[in-house]
Structure 1
Amino acid sequence: MPAESTAAARKGAFVAVAVALFCIQLDFFALNLAVPGIAAEFGATVSAAQWTLSAYMLALGCFFIIGGRVGDVFGRRGTLLAGSTLFTAGSLGCALASGLGVLVVARIAQGVGAAFVFPVSVSVITNAFPEQMRARALGAVFGVANIGTALGPFVGGGFTDGPGWRWIFWLMAPLSLVSLLAALAYVPDSRDMSAPRELDLLGCTLIVCSLAGLTVAVERADAWGWAGAPTLVCFAVAVVTGGMFLVRERLARHPLIDLRLFRNVPYVLVTGMGSLSNMCYSVTVFLATLYLQGVRGLSPLQAGTAFLAPALLVALSGPLGARLGRRMPPTAVMALAGAVAGTGMYALTQVTAWWLYVPVFAWCGLGLGLGWTFSSVATQQVVAPARAGEASGVLLTFLVTLGAIALAGTAAAISAMTPQRPPEEAYDAILRCGGVAVLATAVVVMAVRHRLAAAGTTPPLSIRARGVAGRGRGRRP
C-alpha cells in the first residue's frame, strides 16, 4: 500500500469495520423485543420463535474461532468481504422470510457472516493502524458498535409496535451494503505471513461439533429437561469432540488455536473478566426486559425507551475504555469495570422508583459494557498483530458461548424459583448473585496481577512494551 494512501485506507477501514459492527450489534439487540411479534405473525409459539435468537447465537459461537483464523491465514480483507456479503444476504432473507423455518435459516446465515466479520474486523483495525493509534481506533470502533447496542431495544420495540419486525432487517440490508462497499474500496489486506495457507479442517470440524453440542444442550435443556436424554447426548457430544479438538491442536502442524495462548496470564485474566461481564450483561438485559414488561407492564416501545440511558453508557464505554487503557494496565481496567458492574447489579435489586432505577441501571450498563467491550481491545495488546484474529476469535467464542449458557441457566433458575416466590424476587436474587460474582472476580484479577507483577513474571502487554522490556525498561502489567 503506498504511503500516501495510508491515511485514506485507515479512514476507509474504520468506516467499513465500524458500520459492520454497528449492524451486528443493532441486529442482535433489536430482535429480542420482536420475538413475540414474530411468533404471532407465523402462528408459532414463543418458544419456537426463540430459535431466531438461538440459531443466530449458535452460528456465532461455532464460527468465531474459524473466522478469526481464516482471516489470519488467508487474508483479512477477503474474509471481511465474504462475511459482510453473507450477513447482507442473510438480512435480506430475514426481511423476505415466508415462514419461521426460512427465517431461522436466514438468521444462521447472518450468524456465520457476523462470526467472520467480528474477529476479522478487530484484526483489520489492529493491522491497519500503527501501535500508538491502535487502542484509540479500537475504542472508537466499539463506541460506534455500542451505539447499535444502545439503539437496538428502542429500534426493535419501535418497529415491532409500528410497521413490523421485518423493518429491523430492511434497515440492516442497506447499512451492511455500505460497509461492504467501504471494505471493498479501502480495506488493505493483511495476514499472518508466518503461517502457510492451510487450515486445520479436522480441527474446524471438531470445534464446531463441540460448540454446537454445548449450545444446543444449554438452549434446549429447559424444554428437554437437564437430565433428559437429548440434553445428555448433546453434552456428551460437546465433551468428546472438545477433548478430541484439544488433542488435535497439540498434534497438528498448523493448529487452529495455538494453545500456548492460554499461558499468557494477562490474556487469560482479560478473557475471563470479559466473559463474565458479558454473561452478566446478557442476564441483566434479559431480567430487565422481563421486569419492565412483565412486572411494570410496559409495552415493547416503552421498555425500549427505558433501555436508552443504560445502553447509551454502554456505547460510551468503548471510547472510555480506550482512554483508560492509555493510562492503566488492561487488567486494572477490567477490574475497575467489574467493580462498577458488580455494585450496579447489586444496587439494582434495591431500587424500584423510576427516578433511581434508570440511573442505577445506567451505572450497571457502564460497568458491564466496559468489561466486555474493553476485553476486545485489551486482548489485542497482549498478542502479536499477526495472531490478532485468532486471539479475538477465541475471546468472542467465550463471550457468546458463556453468554448463552448464562441465559439458559437464568431461565432454569427462574422456572425453579417462581413457584415459591414472586417473579421480581427471583430476578433480584439472580442479580445479587451475579453482582457478587463480578465483584469477587475483580478482586481476584487485581490480586493475581499484583502477585505476578511483584514476581516479575507477567509478560509485556503490548508490542511497544516488548521492545521496551528488551532494552531493560519494563512496563507494569
Structure 2
Amino acid sequence: MVISGVSFRPRHHRRPDRGGTEAGGTAPPRRNLTLIAASLCIFVVQLDFYALNLALPAMAAELGTSTTDLQWVVSGYILAQAAFLVPGGKLGDILGRKRVLLAGLVVFGVASLGAGLAPTAPVVIAFRIVQGGGAGIVYPLAFAVITDVFPGRQAKRAIGNAYGIGAVSLALGPLLGGGVTELIGWRSVLLVNLPLSVVALAAVAGWLRESRDPTVPRSIDLPGLVAVVLAIAAVTIAVDRVRAWPPAAPPALAVGGLLLLAVFVLREQRTTNPLVRLDLFHDRRYVIVTLMGMIANIAFVVAVFATTIHLQQVRDYSPFVAGVAVLAASISGGVSGPLAGRLSERLGVPLLIATATMVGACGLLVVSFGGDLGPYLLGLAVTGLGYRTGFTLTNLGTQAMVPAERAGEASGVTLAVLLTGSGIAVAAAGTLIEQSDLAVAVTRVLLGTAAGSAVAVALLAGASRRA
C-alpha cells in the first residue's frame, strides 16, 4: 500500500468468491454471527449520541462554559466521523474490513476514555473529535461486512435488521444520558463506551471473516483527504463563529472551505488513485437518494439537539426526565430499521424516503408548538419514526445500487454526505439558538427544520420520478 509516498507490500490473498470476499473453504459464511457482530459495532457508535446530548447542560456547568458552546462535543464528533467515513471504508476495502474495523473500535474506545477523564472543555472536545474519527472508521465497515456475506435482496433486510438491533442503543441512550448524568455524573456517559468497545472487539475478532476488494489500487489519496477534511471544518467553523468573529471573517472562511472542496473534486478527477471514485455520482438515483437521506438525518439530529435544550433549560426538567421524554423518539427510531428493510423489498426507495420524511416533519411540527407533555411525546415518537426510517432507507438503498466489492467505499461516501450535513446543521442550530430568547429560538429552529425538510424532500421526490 502507498500512503504519502510510503509503500507497503500487500499480502497475498485468496481469490474472492463474492464481492472481494476471501474464500474460507466450502462452508457457508456465518451470516447470523456476522450480523450480530456488525450490529454491536453500530450499537457502540450510536449509544452516546442521545446520551451526550442530554449530558450537555451538566457538562457545561462543571466545565464553566455554555451549553451552546459545547455543541462542538456533538458537531465536532459528527464532523470527524464524516471526515473518516470515506477513508475508513476505503482502507477496509484495501487492507481488510475486519482488520480495519478492529482498529477503529480501539480508537473509539481509547478516545472515549480520554474524553471521560478530560479536565477542561477543549480537551473533551479534542478527544470527542478523535472518538468521531474512530466511529467514522467503524460505521461504514459494519455495513460493508453485511453486504459482503448476504446476497442480493437479503442484504437490504439484513441491514435493516442491523439497524434494528443497533437501535437498542437509541432506546438506552436517553436513559443512560439522563439517568447516569443525574445519579453519577456526565463522565460516566463517556466511560461506559470502553467496556462496550471491548465486547464489540471480541465479537468482531471471533465471528467475522476477513474480506477486501482486490481490484482497488493499494493506495490512499492523502492530499485529497486533507483537502476534504479542511473544507468541511472551514465551512462548519464559519457557521458556528458568525456572532463571535468580525463580520467579514466567517464568510471568508466559508468561501475558503468551498474552494477547498472544489480542489478536492478536481484532485479526485485527475489522480490515478482517487479517495472517492466520482463515477458514484454519475448515477442520478444514487445522488437523489443520498440527498434525501441527508435531509432526513439533518432534521432528526437538529430535533434531538434542540429538544434536549428545550426540555432542560426552558421547561426545567431534570436530565433523567428529559431522557425519558426523548426516549419516545429513540424507541420509534429503533423500529424504523426492520420496517425500512421490509418495505424496501416491495416499494421504491425514493418514494419511501419522501413519505417517511413527511411523517417526521408532521411530528416535528407538533413538537415545535410545545404544549402538554402527552402531545409533545407523541410528536417526538412520530419524528423519530419518520426521520430515522428515511436515514435507514438511504443506507440500504444506496448499498443495493453498487457492486458488492465497492460496499465499503459507497457506504463511506453516503454516510459522509449524511453526517457532514448534520454536523454543519447542529453548528448552525447552536448559533441560531444563541441569538434570541431561548424558548423562541428553539421553536423557530424546530419549525424551520420541519418545514425545510418537507419542502426539500418533496422537490427531490419529484426529481427522482424523472431520473
* Shorter-chain TM-score above 0.5: yes
Q: Is the aligned partner of 1:73 residue 2:88?
A: no
Q: How far has the Cα of 1:139 moved from its partner?
A: 0.5
Structure 2 gaps of 5+ residues are: 1-22
Matched, 1:294 2:316: no
Code of the aligned partner of 1:364: T
Aligned-partner residue type, residue 357 of structure 2? G
**More divergent stretch after superposition (14-23 vs 243-252):** 14-23
Distance 1:236 1:127 in 2: 40
The answer on 1:192 being equivalent to 2:209 is no
2:192 matches 1:171: yes
Query: What does 1:338-417 correspond to in 2, within 5 Å?
Result: 338-350=357-369, 352-417=371-436
Aligned partners of 2:455 and 2:75: how far apart in 1?
A: 30
Within 5 Å, give how 1:75-114 maps onto structure 2.
75-114=96-135
1:321 matched to 2:346: no
Distance 2:47 2:92 in 1: 24
Residue identity matched to 1:20: C
Q: 1:202 aligns with which of 215, 223, 238?
A: 223
Contact 1:156-1:168 within 8 A present in 2 as well: yes
Asked if 2 retains the 8 angstrom alpha-carbon contact of 1:289 and 1:303, the reply is: yes
The answer to whether the aligner puts 1:450 opposite 2:461 as a matched pair is no
Corresponding residue for 2:454? 439
Q: Is the 8 A contact 1:64 1:393 kept in 2?
A: yes
User: What is the distance in 2 between the residues matched to 1:63 and 1:259?
Assistant: 17
2-structure distance, mates of 1:409, 1:49: 13
1:50 shift after superposition: 4.1
Distance 2:147 2:28 in 1: 14
1:49 Cα deviation after fit: 4.2
- In the alignment, what sits opposite 2:156? 135
Match of 2:14 in 1: none
Quote how far apart the aligned CAs of 1:404 are.
2.0
Contact 1:219–1:404, Cα closer than 8 Å, also in 2? no
Which has the larger displacement, 397-406 or 361-370?
397-406
- Asked if structure 2 preserves the Cα contact closer than 8 Å seen for 1:80 and 1:117, the reply is yes
Q: Name which of 110, 113, 138 aligns with 1:117.
A: 138
Matched, 1:32 2:32: no
Q: What whole-Å deviation, never above 9, does each CA across 1:254-297 have from its counterpart, x for those lacking one? A: 21111121121111111111101111112211221222223321
State whether residues 62 and 212 of structure 1, in contact with CA within 8 Å, keep that contact through their aligned partners in structure 2.
no
Aligned residue for 1:366, secondary structure, equals helix
Question: Is the CA contact (8 Å cut-off) linking 2:281 and 2:287 kept in structure 1?
Answer: yes
CA gap 1:52/1:431 in 2 versus in 1, 3 angstroms: closer
Matched, 1:255 2:274: yes
After superposition, the Cα gap between the structure-2 partners of 1:168 and 1:4, relative to the gap in structure 1 and judged at 3 Å, is farther
Q: C-alpha deviations, 1:296-348, integer Å up to 9, x for none?
A: 21111111111112210001111110011111111121111122112222233
The unaligned stretches of length 5 or more in structure 1 are 453-477
Secondary structure of the corresponding residue to residue 298 of structure 1: coil
Q: What's the counterpart of residue 12 of structure 2?
A: none
Coordinate RMSD, CA, aligned: 2.1
Q: Distance in 2 between matches of 1:295 and 1:39?
A: 16
- The residue number in structure 1 matching 2:166 is 145
Over 3 Å counting, the alpha-carbon distance change for 1:236 and 1:426 in structure 2 is: closer
Greater per-residue helix proportion: 1
Cα deviations by residue, 1:218-248 (Å, 9 ceiling, x for unpaired): 23334336x342x345324312221111111
Q: 1:100 to 1:450 in 2, by over 3 A?
A: closer
CA contact (8 A) 2:94 2:218 kept: yes
SS at match of 1:410: helix
Mapped partners of 2:189, 2:441: distance in 1:
32
Higher RCO, Cα 8 Å, sep 6+: 2
Distance 1:432 1:97 in 2: 36
Q: Which amino acid aligns with 2:272?
A: R
Q: Is the 8 A contact 2:91 2:100 kept in 1?
A: yes
| Alpha-carbon distance in 1 for matches of 2:391, 2:316 | 30
Q: 1:64 and 1:222, CA in 2 relative to 1: closer, same or farther beyond 3 A?
A: farther
Number of residue equivalences = 445
Alignment-derived partner of residue 289 in structure 2: 270
C-alpha displacement of 1:401:
1.6
CA distance 1:99–1:5, shift in 2 (3 Å): farther
Map 1:195-234 to 2 at 5 A: 195-224=216-245, 227-229=247-249, 231-234=250-253
The answer on whether the counterparts of 1:12 and 1:183 sit within 8 Å (CA) in structure 2 is no
C-alpha change, 1:243 and 1:182, in structure 2 (3 Å) is: same
- State the distance in 2 between where 1:69 and 1:218 align: 29
Name whichever of 237-246 and 212-221 sits farther off.
Answer: 212-221
- Counterpart residue number, 1:53: 74
Normalising by structure 2, we get a TM-score of: 0.89
Give the aligned residue type for 1:398. V
Match of 1:460 in 2: none
Q: Name 1:427's counterpart in structure 2.
A: 442
Matched AA of 2:37: A
- Do the aligned partners of 2:29 and 2:149 also contact (CA within 8 Å) in 1? no
Partner of residue 39, structure 2: 18
Give, as a single letter, the amino acid of the residue that structure 1 aligns with 2:388.
Answer: G
Larger mean Cα displacement after TM superposition, 56-65 or 256-265: 56-65
Find the residue that maps to 2:274 and give its secondary structure: coil
Residue 28 of structure 2 corresponds to residue 6 of structure 1: yes
CA gap of 1:449–1:237, structure 2 versus 1, over 3 A, is closer
State the SS of the aligned residue for 2:461. helix
Match of 1:283 in 2: 302
SS at match of 1:224: coil
TM value normalised by structure 1? 0.87
